[in-house]
A and B are shown apart, each in its own frame.
Chain A
Amino acid sequence: MVAVKIQSMFDFVEIFGQPEVKIDVKENTSIKDLLELLINQYGEKLKEKMIDPKTGDVFEHLEILCNGRNIKFLQGNDTNLREGDSVTIFVPIGGGSL
């Protein structure tokens, strides 16, 4: 098993109960596996926030980072998790002052 951190922001914090939760996953668990595992654990509320019912995939506007890097620029859903990895799930919002 390997220990990974799930960091969440904004409305995801309510679902996870706290901004950071630690979770043990099997070796060679991918991001895709992790998301399935999280949905199983946290149920419909998380699924509603995360999965686009039209496509069955993760919402386009959702940011999933592994150690600060968007998984799109790693191996996407196939990115494998290693001991100590940090996965961040949130919808990016904001802007700069003018």
Chain B
Amino acid sequence: MSYMGKVLRINLTAKGVKTEPLNEKDARDYMGGAGLGMKLFYNEKIKPGIDPFSEENKVVMATGFLCATTCPVAARVACITKSPLSFGVTYSNVGGFFPDEFKKTGHDAVIIEGKSEKPVYVYIKDDKVSFKDAAPIWGLNTADSQHYIKEILKDQTVRPFVIGPAGENLVRYGSIIAEKRASGRKGVGAVFGSKNLKGIVVKGSKSVKYADEKGFQEVVKKIAKAFQDSPTLYPKFGNFGTAGNVENCIAKGQMPGPNFIDPADEKYLSIGAQKNIEYRARRYACYLCPIRCGQVRVVKSGKYAGWATEGPEFETLFSLGSGIGVTDPCFIIAADRVCDDLGMDTVSAGVCIGFAMELYEKGILTKDDCDGFDLKFGNDDAAFKLLYKIAYRDGFGDLLAEGVRRATKRIGKDSEKYAMHVKGLEPPGYDPRTCKSMGLNYMTSYTGADHSRGYPPQEIFGAHHKVPWEVDPYSWDRKAELTIYNQDVGGACKDCSMFCTFAYRNALIPANLHIKYFTELWKTATGFDVTEEDIPKVGQRYNNLAHALLLKEGFTRKDDYLPERLMTEPHKIGPGKGQVMDRENCEKLLDEFYTLRGWDKNGIPKREKLVELGMDYVAEDLGLKETEKIGE
């Protein structure tokens, strides 16, 4: 089967290494990637309430059953840990070339535990694991770190996955970088930093085995055909990349303007794909990807001349563009590169700066509070300098390095009203007031305000999305059901198989081929006797397991709400003028969501639901009684 059958355990405190067999039932129940990683994380029984930066926190990195096979766009790895932003379990993932190389070392996953006394990086070369002194590269940015690791190891073919100064300095949204690709969000890089772990470096020579190789290759051919048949994937998406979403979302009033006060208007078309293509030097693809959506962009004149980056992606065009009132694409190209080099999430960094700008404009923060910066919306010079101050926790940057939620505790003065976050995670580039399922997803995703879990393509890319049904983004109708569909089915097909979300959205789900093809891939790769009914079940188990971990941490219904602004301030301009996610409708959506999930009105799963999913152990852990026995 296409699992390697082994899980590596690395203890940074004792510099110990163990190899454990992959539990086949876990693989069958949770497929791989985020699902399998979540189960491995759950198995660790980490004590609730621990500080995410403590030695007791762990990081699980898990690939999927498709990684290192011939299936395109599936070479990704999931990183699971307790987030320093949300203080709940979280998940971030990365593509590029690291994941495939990692799996070829002969491991499906790695569990990283403990804390190194001194900075280290871990080199995994097939079965051999060594702890390397990271002192010579500590403090270096992510590009230089990767360069010198290859120099030190005298091997240009190794694949490093490293943090930069932001992760080292425990910026709560530090990321981990492989080449120029980021496991960007939710602070996984800061957890590496807290463990004095500069990175993981891999080199593998092993290959996967298939249960039914001929059958598998037939499905891969069908996937390739679906890519070709997609009216949007080639050449449009490949040519413009994710930046194409700027034009789309501005037209529909879905892209946020400065700190979500109003939607981005037409002046922000200056940061869209049609302008950005003028800066494109070349295109880039992750391992075994025929789409090549990555855009390498270069600034050749003006004050940002000389800066180049692989990106910016759509979310960054929001967070460091419209979200802070900047219309200059050259600034965003430079700022994206700065964040990648510093190893810092562009989304949280941008939203934190947008938050500070609004507080400054409202007089809640003064120039003195902001280290002398005239922090008005649109001040790109100040934003540029702030990125460095955040990464090095210098002065005012130290406050923003905490994320908006924690920053409000220090600022006080009603600043919470302007803090955009759910469960401590800053939102990406979709304004929920004009895409209600995205809003409910922000509310209920275990990760917080996250577009990557439960993304509703039906609301954003509208026209050709009729699966599971056609959706008016402004309507409330069946949005709880739709959100669960995308969290569970999308969760299995993307997060657990680790298939690229863009190919899934552009080619498979619109053609209604996703459940069929992922079932066939899973069956032929692994030999598991699975049916199409297993796909949503994998997603349900994955999301319920993550939810159970949040419950153990003390999360309740009160954590499942949007920021006040999005519930009380309707859009004043744009096509969605008057649209809001008002509290009354949010309550109704939550009630419906919980009921459909098989949870009670407080979000506690019913024992029967967990038993139905084969998750009796979770019911036991949560101390759940059968419904009829409750109250006895």
Q: List chain B residues, Cβ under 8 A from A64.
A: 463
Contacts of A17 in B (CB 8 A): none
Q: How many residues of B contact A (CB 8 A)?
A: 58
Extra contacts, 13 of them, besides A92-B460, A93-B461, A95-B237 (Cβ < 8 A), are A10-B244, A63-B462, A69-B252, A69-B575, A70-B463, A88-B251, A92-B245, A92-B462, A94-B237, A96-B455, A98-B184, A98-B452, A98-B501
The reply to whether the CB of B451 lies closer than 8 angstroms to some CB of chain A is: yes
Give 6 nearest A-B pairs by CB, closest first: A68-B575, A94-B245, A97-B313, A93-B244, A61-B464, A94-B244
**Are the C-beta atoms of A97 and B316 separated by less than 8 Å?**
yes
CB-defined interface of A48-80 with B at 8 Å, one 1/0 digit per residue? 000000000001111111011110110000000
Residue of B nearest to A7 (CB): B251
User: Which B residue's beta carbon lies closest to that of A62?
Assistant: B463
Please tell me if the beta carbons of B242 and A96 are within 8 angstroms of each other in the complex: yes
Task: Using known A-B contacts A9-B247, A68-B576, A73-B472, determine if residue A94 contacts B240 with beta carbons closer than 8 Å.
Answer: yes
B428 in contact with A13 (CB, 8 Å): no
**Does residue A16 face the partner (Cβ distance < 8 Å to B)?**
no
Tell whether B72 is near chain A: CB-to-CB under 8 Å.
no
Smallest distance from the beta carbon of A62 to chain B beta carbons, Å? 6
Q: Range of interface residues on chain A?
A: 20 to 34
Interface residues of A (CB under 8 A from B): 7, 9-11, 13, 19, 59-65, 67-70, 72-73, 88, 90-98
Q: Most A CB atoms within 10 A — which of B240, B247, B460, B505?
A: B247
Encode contact with A along B293-326: 1 for CB under 8 Å, 0 otherwise. Answer: 1000000000000000001111110000000000
Q: Return the contact of A61 from the options B93, B232, B245, B313 (Cβ within 8 A).
A: B232
A31 shortest CB reach to chain B, Å: 14
Closest to B241 in A: A94
Cβ contacts under 8 Å, B249 to chain A: 94
Chain A interface secondary structure, helix, strand, loop or mixed?
Answer: loop
Known: A9-B274, A73-B474. A61 touches B243 (CB 8 A): no
Smallest beta-carbon distance B345→chain A, Å: 10
Q: Give the CA-CA distance A92 to B252 in the complex, in Å.
A: 11
A-B contact pairs, 5 of them (CB 8 A): A10-B273, A60-B463, A93-B237, A97-B347, A98-B184
Are A95 and B236 in contact, CB atoms less than 8 angstroms apart?
A: no
The residue that A93 contacts in the complex, of B182, B236, B253, B575, with Cβ under 8 A, is B236
Residue of B nearest to A69 (CB): B575
Question: How far is B193's CA from A1's CA once the two chains are assembled, in angstroms?
Answer: 66
Asked if A61 and B463 make an inter-chain contact with CB atoms under 8 angstroms apart, the answer reads yes
A69 CB to closest chain B CB (Å) equals 6
Restricting to B237-263, which residues have a CB under 8 Å from any CB of A? 237, 240-249, 251-253
Q: B94: CB under 8 A from chain A? A: yes
Q: Are A93 and B428 in contact (CB-based, < 8 A)?
A: no
- Give bound CA distance, A7 to B460, whole Å: 18
In contact, A96 and B245 (Cβ under 8 angstroms): yes
Q: Say yes or no: A97-B314 contact (C-beta < 8 A), given A9-B274, A10-B240.
A: yes
Residue pair A61, B231 in contact (C-beta under 8 Å) = yes
Q: Is the CB of A94 within 8 A of B273?
A: yes
Interface residues of B in 313-342 (CB under 8 A from A): 313-316
CB neighbours (8 Å) of B248 from chain A are 9, 63, 90, 92-94
Q: Taking the nearest CB of chain B, how far is it from the CB of A28, in angstroms?
A: 22
Bound state CA distance, A91 and B230, in angstroms? 12
* Minimum Cβ distance to chain A for residue B349 (Å): 13
- B199 in the interface, Cβ–Cβ < 8 Å? no
- Inter-subunit contact A98/B95 (CB<8 Å): yes
Chain A residues with CB below 8 A from B346, complex form: 97
Of B242, B274, B574, the residue contacting A10 (CB under 8 A) is B274
B463–A92 CB distance below 8 A: yes
Q: Which residues of A contact B574 (CB under 8 A)?
A: 68
B residues near A65, Cβ cutoff 8 Å:
251-252, 575
Q: Which residues of A contact B117 (CB under 8 A)?
A: none
A60 and B242 within 8 A (CB) = no
Q: Is B429 among interface residues, defined by CB-CB distance under 8 A? A: yes
Asked whether B470 is an interface residue with its Cβ less than 8 Å from the other chain, the reply is yes
Q: Within the assembled complex, what's the spacing in Å between the Cα atoms of A88 and B314?
A: 20
A91 touching B242 by the CB < 8 A rule? no
A residues in contact with B274, CB < 8 Å: 9-10, 13, 19
The distance from the CB of B508 to the nearest CB of chain A, in whole angstroms, is: 13
Residue among B95, B231, B314, B316 making CB contact with A94, cutoff 8 Å: B314
In angstroms, how far is the closest chain A Cβ from the Cβ of B302? 23
B284 / chain A contacts, CB cutoff of 8 Å: none
* 1/0 contact string of B64-108 vs chain A (CB within 8 Å): 000000000000000000000000000011110000000000000
Question: B502 within 8 Å of A by Cβ?
Answer: yes
Whether B315 pairs with A96 at a CB distance below 8 angstroms is yes
Interface string of B419-438 (1 = CB under 8 A from A): 00000000011100000000
Distance between A16 CB and nearest chain B CB, rounded to angstroms: 13
CB-based contact B232/A92 at 8 Å:
yes
- B575 and A67 contact, CB distance less than 8 A: yes
CB-CB under 8 A from A10, the residues of chain B are 236, 240, 244, 247, 273-274
* A63 contacts across to B, CB distance below 8 A: 248, 251, 462-463
* CA of A2 to CA of B460, assembled, Å: 30
User: How far is the CB of A68 from the nearest CB of chain B, in Å?
Assistant: 2
Closest Cβ neighbor of B510 among chain A residues: A61
Which of chain B's residues have a CB closer than 8 A to the CB of A68? 251-253, 574-576
